[in-house]
Amino acid sequence: MPFSDYRTALVTGASSGIGAAIVERFSAEGLEVHAVARSAEPLRKLAERTGCVAHAIDVTDRAALADLTRRVEFDILVNNAGVDRPKKFLEAEDGDIDLLVDVNLRAVLHLCRMVVPGMVTRDRGHVINISSIAGIYNFGGNSSYHATKAGVSMLSNQLRIDAFGKRVRVTEICPGRVATDIFAHVHGDSPEIRERFIDGFELPEARDIANAIAFAVAAPVAVNIGHIEITPTLQVMGGLQTAKPQSPKSGDESRE
């Protein structure tokens, strides 16, 4: 369904990075874009730049989201807000788990509950869930993050089943490493962090993810692009590790 058939969009995690790029792209397409994030000042600047409607709301504030979705019928929902507390699961604290579940999964479930039934009634709508390659592939230190993103991935599949027979499309976007400020938010803003995750790498940028989403939205109504995996050309997933049993005095490990 081309952009001209949609009027309104709701984008979470919109104050920076991928979320802000989506707001910019949707606004350029003529949509009334409602941008949701916790940080009021970046949202204000985004609204000045794009004409979007800013809402300084935490996605865990269910009452505020319910009020917004009651007042506005959304044709497009982009679940982009996300957090991470990268550490081994054996070292995870209850607060880490609660935060990731609340933001990465619970908020997505509730927003879909609030918005998708209206799409089904109107026989028109598009849900964009920003998941991650972490919802599909395994790598160390992010177990809670993997679990929440896998939940979003399965929800994306299930939504199409629940909306079967209606022109409600669902697209899951699974980015790998993208050149955004997410690494500074998670690990701290320092030259060392930029060198570790950004500098010297050839990475997709936030606007590349926004363009991929626009491609999915602009497809004809008969076309549902269900899953897009976007990674750097020079990034691969997977790998095989084999460990030797460790005695109390030995930490030897071999990898093949």
CA distances from residue 23 to 111, 160, 169 in whole angstroms, order as listed: 18, 24, 19
**Cβ proximity of 72 and 94 under 8 Å:** no
Q: Is residue 144 a contact partner of residue 89, using CB atoms and an 8 Å limit?
A: yes
Helix (H, G, I), strand (E, B) or coil at 169: strand
Q: State the Cα–Cα distance between residues 217 and 77, nearest whole angstrom.
A: 11
Query: Helices H, strands E: what count in the chain?
Result: 9, 7
Q: Which residue type occupies 108?
A: V
- The sheet with strand 125-130 has its strands ordered as 53-56, 32-37, 8-12, 76-79, 125-130, 168-175, 227-230
What's the CA gap between 115 and 72, in Å, rounded? 10
- Active-site hit among 59, 145, 148, 217: 145
Side chain identity at residue 204, one-letter code:
P
Residue 252: how many other CB atoms lie within 10 Å: 9
Residue type, 200: G
Count Cβ neighbours within 10 Å for each residue of 165-174 and write b for 16 or more, e otherwise. Answer: ebbbbbbbbb
Establish whether 6 is a catalytic residue: no
* Count of CB atoms situated within 10 Å of the CB of 250: 9
Instruction: Give catalytic residue positions.
Output: 145
